[in-house]
């Protein structure tokens, strides 16, 4: 199912993200975790492509398995910056063959090796190049892209970031998923600015439940997200008690989702990080709102 169909519905929908194993030997345990999340019947599941240290080779295996076994719509991520045209074309054919209708077109992070390499030799420089490639393929994909309420770290300023975002949408992105954020006001402010810039596609806020104190530094480093005092106090109070921190982190994420829905956002994506218990708890916290 194309996600555009889901976005037409007028109720809260929750989707979850999973990532492929970091090493081959973990494939079965990751597959099991993703299946446990699929059993919750989220509105869709996204499978990352080599992000956070996961390998890219299992993205399609996991996405196809979830779709076939649990009838959950899937969104396969694909990055382009370190790839050749041939590799990307082959991947597009594989996605088509797997019957996956939704693709998240990403540039991918610039590793130090890439940064040091000769950019004139790169075939893909930005996610927009992949969006165009996907549009040119003969598949009728629903294409998504990433966006950054707190600005992409490489952007000089928000105006420039939004200008390129508009170009990406105009090239064929039908929805945008946000980087994680911990203060909903940042999202509302971002929404106002992008709507003003003429970006009208659905925006899916990405919510990261922080369930242990070690995750905080990693999350900030990865995303550059602002940590509101309310969240810092929670980490100070519960950070040394794993069970309490997990409960507080899930409650914080749930609260963010309720506030988003109360303010007109219908589709929320949860960075569930291969943790079925966290996904299940958030879903059960929202059961009456979701009607599940």
Given the rule CB under 6 A, which residues bind ligand FAD? Answer: 48-51, 77, 79, 106-109, 126-128, 146, 152, 154-155, 161, 164, 168, 177, 179, 206
Residue tagged 């940064």 (tokens): 115
CB of 128 to ligand FAD, least distance (A): 5
Nearer to ligand FAD, 206 or 209 (CB): 206
Q: How far is 246 from 39, CA to CA, in rounded Å?
A: 22
CB of 240 to ligand FAD, least distance (A): 30
CB of 3 to ligand FAD, least distance (A): 13
Kindly report the CA angle at 36 between 30 and 39, in degrees rounded to 5?
140
CB of 76 to ligand FAD, least distance (A): 9
> Catalytic residues, which ones?
17
SS3 8: coil
List the structure tokens of 47: 């499978």
Q: How far is 285 from 142, CA to CA, in rounded Å?
A: 30
Q: How far is 45 from 79, CA to CA, in rounded Å?
A: 17
In order of 23, 56, 101, 151, the CA distances from 106 in angstroms are 22, 13, 16, 16
Nearer to ligand FAD, 119 or 195 (CB): 119
CB of 81 to ligand FAD, least distance (A): 8
Nearer to ligand FAD, 72 or 106 (CB): 106
Nearer to ligand FAD, 79 or 248 (CB): 79
20-24 long-range CB contacts below 8 Å, 24 or more apart?
20/47, 20/48, 20/49, 20/50, 20/54, 20/55, 20/56, 20/57, 20/58, 20/59, 20/61, 20/62, 21/54, 21/55, 21/58, 22/53, 22/54, 22/55, 23/55, 24/55
List the structure tokens of 132: 């165009």
C-beta separation of 107 from 79 below 8 A: yes
Residue tagged 């797997």 (tokens): 98
Nearer to ligand FAD, 205 or 276 (CB): 205
């Amino acid at each position: 199912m194309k996600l555009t169909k889901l976005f037409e519905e007028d109720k809260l929908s929750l989707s979850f993200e999973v990532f492929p194993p970091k090493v081959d030997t973990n494939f079965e345990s990751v597959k099991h975790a993703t299946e446990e999340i699929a059993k919750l019947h989220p509105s869709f599941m996204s499978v990352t492509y080599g992000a956070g240290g996961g390998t890219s080779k299992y993205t399609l295996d996991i996405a196809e398995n979830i779709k076939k076994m649990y009838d959950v719509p899937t969104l396969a991520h694909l990055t382009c910056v370190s790839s050749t045209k041939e590799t990307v074309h082959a991947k597009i054919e594989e996605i088509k063959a797997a019957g996956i209708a939704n693709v998240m077109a990403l540039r991918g992070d610039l590793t130090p090796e890439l940064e040091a390499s000769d950019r004139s030799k790169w075939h893909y420089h930005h996610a927009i190049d992949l969006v165009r490639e996907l549009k040119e393929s003969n598949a009728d994909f629903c294409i998504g892209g990433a966006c950054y309420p707190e600005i992409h770290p490489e952007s000089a300023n928000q105006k420039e970031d939004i200008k390129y975002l508009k170009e990406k949408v105009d090239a064929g992105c039908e929805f945008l998923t946000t980087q994680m954020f911990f203060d909903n006001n940042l999202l509302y402010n971002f929404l106002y600015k992008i709507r003003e810039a003429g970006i009208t596609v659905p925006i899916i806020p990405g919510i990261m439940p922080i369930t242990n104190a070690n995750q905080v530094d990693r999350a900030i480093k990865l995303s550059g997200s602002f940590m509101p005092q309310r969240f810092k106090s929670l980490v100070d109070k519960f950070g040394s008690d794993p069970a309490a921190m997990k409960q507080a982190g899930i409650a914080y994420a749930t609260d963010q989702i309720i506030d988003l829905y109360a303010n007109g956002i219908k589709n929320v994506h949860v960075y569930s990080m291969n943790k079925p218990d966290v996904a299940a708890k958030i879903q059960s916290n929202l059961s009456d709102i979701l009607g599940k």
